[in-house]
Structure 1
Amino acid sequence: MDYRNLGRSGLSVSPLCLGTMNFGWKCEEAEAHAIMDLALECGISFFDTADIYYWGEHRGKTEEIIGRWFAGGGGRRERTVLATKVYEPMGDGPNQSRLSALHIRRALDASLRRLKTDYIDLYQFHHIDRTTPWDEIWQAIDIAVRQGKILYVGSSNFAGWHIATAQASANRLGLPGLVSEQSIYNLITRLPELEVLPSARHHGLGIISWSPLQGGLLGGALAQERSGIRRLEGRAAETLARHRSQIEAYEAFAAEMGVPPAVLALSWLLHQPGITAPIIGPRTREQLTSALGALDTKLDAGALAQLDLIFPGHKPAPEEYAW
């Protein structure tokens, strides 16, 4: 396994990150535990979750599933780089969401209890909070770091200027600031190339890309549709309709290369500068095993150029739209 540093930090993480959003919701606890066991066995030690996962009245349950797995012993916690998130509402009260110092303190302690651990390796802001000043956010984080509850801090769903503002505030306070940004990024959604990726690279943040298959559209959606295995609905179906011709060309190119479409999409991300790890969200052990193929799939300049023809990307701003 070719481990990578997370951004400018000294933290080594696996080049694929195990996403746990499906645990408990679309994946039963026993299978979730088996997936995590297999991930560690295969060298995937970077696990991502969030306090809100399992959603609605079940929020927090995914962290509990992971906590019970840690409690099984065998060095599981020590071998895992654990990332979770804070921001989303964990109750109906006015101070049970966002990034106030009060909510960060309460949410962090609650995540630690659910996860059955005394520290979080990477604590991520799940969204930008436009109502809380950065001085307050960083003060709360600094206290948690000094208490030994947090080691590193990352962002998620930030714009490029949000990253810059966060780092400027942290620098002024003499704090390390962010080491990572978790952003949607894949062959279909390439808007982060305008400003998010350049800002992250400039500030030394590693990019953790979520939805690397664009909700399954890059995982052989048309082939599955034709065979009756899966039929997309709602927003996914609308996105498929907009990009059908591109996805047809993409699946044909994957077949020409002899690579499963999902593996090709993950491999493309691993070839992009600044990307530390795409997040894979398997519901079964078979899906996890299949995703591992991306680590051994090398794309030459011709293959990368062909993918850019199918799914055109962006130059960094302002060159994308100005001289």
Structure 2
Amino acid sequence: MTTVHADDTLHTRLGRTALRVSRICLGTVNFGGRVSEPEARALMDHAVDSGVNFVDTADMYGWREYQGYTEEVVGRWLVSSAALRDQVVLATKVGNPMGGGVNDRGLSARHIIAGCEASLRRLGTEWIDLFQMHHVDRDAGWDEVWQAMEILVRQGKVRYVGSSNFAGWDLAAAQEAAKARHFVGVVSEQCLYNLAVRHPELELLPAARAYGVAVMPWSPLHGGLLSGVLRKTAEGRAVKSGQGRSAAALERMHGTIERYEQLCADFGRDPAQVGLAWVTARPGVTSTVIGPRTPDHVKDALQALESPLSDEQTALLEELFPPIGNGGTAPDAWLS
């Protein structure tokens, strides 16, 4: 496996922590249904051999087979080599519904602790490096959430706590409550952020920067919208690009995406690489979560990281996908 030195450009600190993670995070949402277990194991092997040490999953992933399937796939991979668990920074999530019971969801202390125990069993590991709240739960008070997380940290089952799909004020509220308890609190936030969705720039990114929270964009290509969806559709190979989030956005952004793909052609670069290169270079972004289906997708992401866009190329993209309002952070972004 690849030996990575602390001064390399592929790795960085996870927010204000001393933990070093790869700037490309291997997301596993496609494992099960779109990626078979042998393909998933080959993909994870390739990623680790390429220097990617950050793997992200969730308790609910694998729902095309059954909830928890993906964690089981990752767990079987981790135990296949004695060195893997120490080499990989493992992240998973809790909070989404995992059953039909009224308490099988959310961020109650009961569900957080039960969810962690279940994830540990499926992953076949004694600890989770980054245990993330999958969505804010405004029915759960922060003292309850942090009490549960403190128990898991004291037990050695969780190293760090992260969030996902939080608003800027949720992040601030969480951190202030954690600070009052003398607890580290949130160290990372996963958010939907890409050329087509720039809302985090208004308040979430500034809040993360103020609190030293790592930002991990998910769906950096907006479900395939920014990966050459028009070209792939014309060629009959739009596996994911023509579905879900991408298809819905394409209806309202067809003209923009046409111009985007032409602009990428003018750059002499693949649209997926351009979209990834843009988001990985954004101020405040720590690690970009990709959802690859093949080793080539991992190679594309690493190439995007190694070959940043020029200032001129970035400016052309900014014209095509302008920031919200006047650009920048709130409230200046909407003040005339």
Structure 2 length normalisation: TM-score? Answer: 0.93
Residues 194 and 285 of structure 1: CA distance in aligned 2, closer, same or farther (over 3 Å): same
Tell me if 1:262 matches 2:275: no
> What SS does the aligned partner of 2:98 have?
coil
Q: Which of 29, 39, 56 is residue 31 of structure 1 equivalent to?
A: 39
Unaligned runs of 5+ in 2: 1-7
Q: Does 1:109 align with 2:112?
A: no
Counterpart check, 1:174 vs 2:182: yes
Deviation string 1:235-284 (CA, Å, 9 cap, x unpaired) is: 53231121112111111111111111101111111111110111111112
Question: Corresponding residue for 2:331?
Answer: 318
Residue 70 in 1 paired to residue 78 in 2?
Answer: yes
Question: What is the 5 A alignment of 1:190-269?
Answer: 190-230=198-238, 232-233=242-243, 235-269=245-279
Structure 1 letter corresponding to 2:301 = A
Local SS of the residue matching 1:320: helix
1:133 and 1:17 mapped to 2: Cα distance? 30
CA deviations 1:48-78 (Å, max 9, x no partner) are 0000001277000100000000111241111
- SS of 1:151 mapped into structure 2: strand
What is the Cα-based RMSD across aligned positions, in Å?
1.3
Write the distance in 2 (CA, Å) between the matches of 1:206 and 1:48: 14
Q: Is 1:301 paired with 2:301?
A: no
Per the alignment, residue 118 of structure 1 pairs with 126
SS in structure 2 of the partner of residue 39 of structure 1: helix
Displacement of 1:127 in angstroms is 0.3
Paired residues of 2:225 and 2:247 also in contact (CA < 8 A): no
More deviation, 90-99/222-231: 222-231
Name the CA shift for 1:166/1:253 in 2 (closer, same or farther; >3 Å): same
Q: How many residues align?
A: 323
In 2, the alpha carbon distance for the partners of 1:225 and 1:13 equals 35
> Does the 8 Å contact 1:264/1:297 carry over to 2?
no
Letter matched to residue 14 of structure 1: S
2:52 corresponds to which residue?
44
Q: In structure 2, what is the Cα distance between the partners aligned to 1:121 and 1:51?
A: 15
Task: Report the equivalent of 1:93.
Answer: 101
**Cα shift at 1:234:** 5.5
> Residue by residue, what CA displacement relative to the aligned partner does 1:143-172 show, whole Å, maximum 9, x if unpaired?
110110111111000000000000010011
TM-score normalised according to structure 1 size: 0.97
**After TM superposition, which residue ranges in structure 1, 4 or more long, deviate above 6 angstroms?**
none
Task: Give percent identity, aligned residues only.
Answer: 49
The secondary structure found in structure 1 opposite 2:334 is coil
Alpha-carbon spacing, 1:234–1:83, altered in 2? closer, same or farther (3 Å): closer
Distance 2:237 2:68 in 1: 31
Residue of structure 2 in register with 1:287 after alignment: 297
SS in 2 for 1:209: strand
Q: Distance in 2 between matches of 1:25 and 1:49?
A: 15
Amino acid at match of 1:316: T
**TM-superposed deviation, 1:291:** 2.3
Distance in 2 (CA, whole Å) between partners of 1:300 and 1:56 is 40
